[in-house]
Amino acid sequence: MTVTERIWWKDGVVYQIYPASFKDSNNDGLGDIPGIISKVDYIKNLGVDIVWVSPMYDSPQHDMGYDISNYEAVYPPYGTVADMEELIQACHSRGMKLILDLVVNHTSDEHAWFQESRSSKDNPKRDWYIWRPAKYNEKGERMPPSNWRSFFSGSTWQWDEHTQEYYLHLFAKQQPDLNWENPATREAIYQSAMEFWLKRGVDGFRIDTVNMYSKGTSFPDAPITDPGVFEQPAPGLFCNGPRMHEFLREMNQKVLSKYDTMTVGELPHTPDTAHVLRYIGAGDKQLDMVFQFDIVDLGIGKTHKYEYEGYQLPELKEVVSKWQSFIEGSDGWTTAFCENHDQGRSVSRHTSDLPQYRERSAKMLALMMCALTGTLFVYQGQEIGMINAPKDWPIEDYKDIESINYYNSVKERGGDEQALAHVMKSIQILGRDHARLPMQWDDSPYAGFTGKKDGAWMRTNDSYKEINVAKQENDPKSVLNFWRKMIGVRKEYKDVFIHGAFKGYDVENLDTFVFAKTHGKDKAVVVLNFTDKEKDFPRPQELGGKWELLVGSAEGIDGTEKLGAYEGRIYLVN
């Protein structure tokens, strides 16, 4: 067993806030920083230690703030830098830390750096972004430098009339990629995006798309895996490039090492455990931990995420087991999460959001998450069991650039009704908007998120009268109070739950998930029923001993030996 060092960011529970949708303090329909400040006690009372705020920087909001036009300013409708200082203080004075999103693979095309870069070929900042001349095909037509497909559909290359070159954007065309090959660019990023906020007391960063800064300089075409269109998926060519680890070591050495910080990097398209370990070895000083995406990628389509294929329980068990165990014997650290602002809600994806099952489901998932090794991340609304938008919402009710662009691209390709229905079904499960619906505070209009007469910037989930904070506050059996209890259990038995070794049992079973956590002589077994039927569960022989119920998600409801629908339990084994 690995002896894991005890550090605040390992034992801490992180709560992610999406500023647009958390709490609107001035009734303009959009969440804001004063709104977050008004809820700091609520967050603290959940048992949270670290608050992570998604981008609140100035931005034209083509990608909800992940397109930053000024790292050193706050998006005015959200508030000011002074408001952020107050929020940092509000967290610190309650013994909580605060981390920000660090988005430095790209900026907004409205960032002053890009404005200069695109102004002329000989501007000193030309080389701060990635510019390339056109290619020409046999017919003499202008073509982009490579066939790469961007994450938000279409090419990664945007033609610039003014200077007659293409610039690279892995995401939207309003999100040009910074050129990390240039040391002056890196230095400016460190100063503007990092030091500026570290000096104001932030305790670290969730680092956006952390493995895309180095993408080589030759831009070869991607192999054709989606015939029929020019643009091809190319993550294999732009993720984990040749200088990635060098850049992260430099960022750590020049900036992070000067402060007591935590970093968690977003690490998509990296399935290999040895590869992930290269990012997180404590001795190597790059990142403290990463989000590896297998758990949230369950069932996604092969050619595009929104070609959903579905998955079965053994696949979920396999990915949980893989990313729990991979740090054993190393000096790396892992994360436990199943939601964020880019995902459908976990109750709707992995269990059942039908009215008769959704509370049970939310509690079972809470029990599972709180028993997992690594730093635990909870996404706003997860603690009350928020669910996906109803299936009858038309595409017009969705706002996210990723869903809308893909839907339109299938239409433009001549996709028939069936193809579009499949995309729609996929968006109903996976769409990023589900996590971005207004937080459900109470049963007043628009869920108490905003007092604006015609509602919030984004449609409120129809379920808010049944699922909201106020209703759950006073109900000892609510999802919210179960989360509070489970976070307490996690902290009380932190050796076994936060730092323990993981082992799955009966892995082929399609209905139940049984795993053990051990630490020294301490042993706990977690049993979960992922179906709406009563289920027996195996009691693995090798665990032996006497089983004593520690906590159950349906305690007092079912009370039988068998697991009820979507019930989870934890036993201590003596």
Binding site for Ca ion (CB under 5 A): 24, 26, 28, 30, 32
- Considering only residues 340 to 379 of the shown chain, the ones binding ligand GLC according to CB under 6 A are 341-342
Name the binder of 28 from Ca ion, ligand GLC, none, CB < 5-8 A by kind: Ca ion
Of residues 101, 165, 203, 208, which has the active-site annotation?
A: 208
The least CB distance from residue 515 to ligand GLC, in Å, is: 28
Name the binder of 63 from Ca ion, ligand GLC, none, CB < 5-8 A by kind: ligand GLC
DSSP for 115-126, written as a single string: HHHTT-TTSTTG
The least CB distance from residue 209 to ligand GLC, in Å, is: 5
Given CA atoms 159, 165, 170, 174 in this order, what sign does their dihedral have?
negative
Of the pair 24, 383, the CB lying nearest Ca ion is at 24
Count helices and strands in the chain by DSSP H and E runs: 19, 20
459 sits in which H/E element: none
Known catalytic residue at 266: yes
Of the pair 104, 480, the CB lying nearest ligand GLC is at 104
CA distance linking residue 480 with residue 483, whole number of Å: 5
Of the pair 449, 530, the CB lying nearest Ca ion is at 449
CA distance linking residue 453 with residue 97, whole number of Å: 35
The least CB distance from residue 454 to Ca ion, in Å, is: 14
Of residues 49, 266, 402, 567, which has the active-site annotation?
A: 266
CA-CA distances (angstroms) from residue 503 to 325, 353, 519?
8, 28, 12
522 sits in which H/E element: strand 522-529
Given CA atoms 15, 16, 19, 21 in this order, what sign does their dihedral have?
negative
- Number of C-beta neighbours around residue 473 at 10 A: 14
Helical segments of 239-299, H only: 244-254, 273-280
CA distance linking residue 350 with residue 341, whole number of Å: 17
Length of the chain, please? Answer: 574
Instruction: Out of 15, 66, 71, 148, name the contact with ligand GLC by CB under 6 A.
Output: 66
- Considering only residues 92 to 151 of the shown chain, the ones binding ligand GLC according to CB under 6 A are 103
Name the binder of 171 from Ca ion, ligand GLC, none, CB < 5-8 A by kind: ligand GLC
Task: Using DSSP, state whether 214 is helix, strand or coil.
Answer: coil
The least CB distance from residue 200 to ligand GLC, in Å, is: 22
Known catalytic residue at 208: yes
- Considering only residues 238 to 277 of the shown chain, the ones binding ligand GLC according to CB under 6 A are 266
24 binding ligand GLC? (CB under 6 A): no
Residue with CB nearest ligand GLC?
Answer: 66
* Cα atoms found within 13 Å of the Cα of residue 559, Cβ hemisphere only: 2
209 binding ligand GLC? (CB under 6 A): yes
Of the pair 194, 565, the CB lying nearest ligand GLC is at 194
CA-CA distances (angstroms) from residue 275 to 252, 298, 317?
19, 20, 21
The least CB distance from residue 22 to Ca ion, in Å, is: 10
Name the binder of 32 from ligand GLC, Ca ion, none, CB < 5-8 A by kind: Ca ion
| 141 class by beta-carbon count within 10 Å (0-12 exposed, 13-18 middle, 19+ buried) | exposed
202 binding ligand GLC? (CB under 6 A): no
Of the pair 21, 388, the CB lying nearest Ca ion is at 21
Site size toward ligand GLC (CB under 6 A) is 9
Name the binder of 209 from ligand GLC, Ca ion, none, CB < 5-8 A by kind: ligand GLC
- Given the rule CB under 6 A, which residues bind ligand GLC? 63, 66, 103, 171, 208-209, 266, 341-342
Residues tagged active-site? 208, 266
